[in-house]
Amino acid sequence: MPTTRAPRVERSHAPLVSAVPSGVRLDALLLAVALTTVSFSGPLIAATAAPALAIAFWRNALAVAALAPVVALRGRLRAELAAIGRRTLLLSLGSGLALAAHFGLWLPSLHLTSVASSVALVTTTPIWTTLLLRVLGRRPPAAVWLGSAVAFAGVLVLTGVDLSVSSEALAGDALALGGGIAAAGYVLIGAEVRRTTSTTTYTFLCYGTTAAVLLVVCLVAGASLGGGYSGETWLKLVALTATAQFLGHSLINRVVRGLGPSITSTALLLETPGAALIAAVWLGQLPEAAAYPALGLILSGLALVIRAERGGQEDT
């Protein structure tokens, strides 16, 4: 009796992108949206006639006000919030405190030191993220360090280097550096909380804490919280909340679970050239010639970090 051969299975030569899990592709797409919208933060803040700390408060307070009905009306979210554990609650509150520290330290630094120094120092976030991961017992691959350094070099190329040594400038530099460290804490804590908590519940708790802390800071500092604001100012505050806060920070909180803190914090460096391009289109402020090589450096550094992180995950 003749034997029947099994049909020959042809090897698929699907495009490389198909080898990437759909969840990762979705996270990458959402991160691109987040980076685009968070890049509106600088131009909108510059165009809004309100104290910087008040702007930081309102972007979080308005976000909480918009999230509150969603949490109240969705039974699943109410149940998740009611059943949240003590550790998760404390971490969410800690993340909100870190975000408040980021805003509260960085924005005043812009009035004490040059914008170049402030931006360069606050964007050291991926370096602090990698250091904090090392302290927590995780050994990031050498390529993560290299990629973070290359990406940060891109920010330095774009912003320039300011070597002012006045006491006021040094104080501003210290505040901006503190803002970068606080942002690293915000990203790391968010990645931990998001392992067990939905984006909506986490952002509701985080933004609520940030708004409460910044409210106290504004009252102590005497920052006007609305007296004399024009209708245009309120519209810009709403636009800032809808773009940089909701589609920016909230989507960052969404993707940090899948992409990890190293990739997320390094990608945030793209906010600097992104804001420059938006300012060019919206405000007519053409970017410096250095913006283009700077963008190339940031993208190259981010590619190194992504490759190292993904390679490490495949090995585990």
Name the nearest CA neighbour of 140 among 188, 180, 96. Answer: 188
- Evaluate whether 180 touches 155 at the Cβ level (below 8 Å): no
* CA–CA separation, 213 and 220 (whole Å): 11
DSSP string covering the chain: -PPPPPPPPPPP---GGGGS-HHHHHHHHHHHHHHHHHTTHHHHHHH--S-HHHHHHHHHHHHHHHHHHHHHH-HHHHHHHHT--HHHHHHHHHHHHHHHHHHHHHHHHTTTS-HHHHHHHHTTHHHHHHHHHHHTT----HHHHHHHHHHHHHHHHHH-------HHHHHHHHHHHHHHHHHHHHHHHHHHHTTTS-HHHHHHHHHHHHHHHHHHHHHHHT--SSTT--HHHHHHHHHHIIIIIIIIIIHHHHHHHHH-HHHHHHHGGGHHHHHHHHHHHHT--PPPTTHHHHHHHHHHHHHHHHHHHHHHHHH-
CB-based contacts of 154, cutoff 8 Å, min separation 6: 269, 273, 293, 294, 295, 296, 297, 298, 299, 300, 301
pLDDT at 316: 46
Q: Tens-digit pLDDT profile for the chain (316 aa)?
A: 444 444 444 444 444 344 556 677 898 899 999 988 888 887 888 788 899 899 999 999 999 999 999 999 999 999 999 999 999 999 999 999 999 999 999 888 877 877 667 777 788 888 888 889 888 888 878 888 888 888 888 877 776 655 566 788 788 888 988 999 999 999 999 999 999 999 999 999 999 999 999 999 999 999 999 888 999 999 999 999 999 898 899 999 999 888 888 888 888 888 777 777 777 777 666 666 766 787 788 888 888 888 887 765 545 4
pLDDT at 144: 86
Maximum distance among all Cα pairs of the chain, rounded to whole angstroms: 96
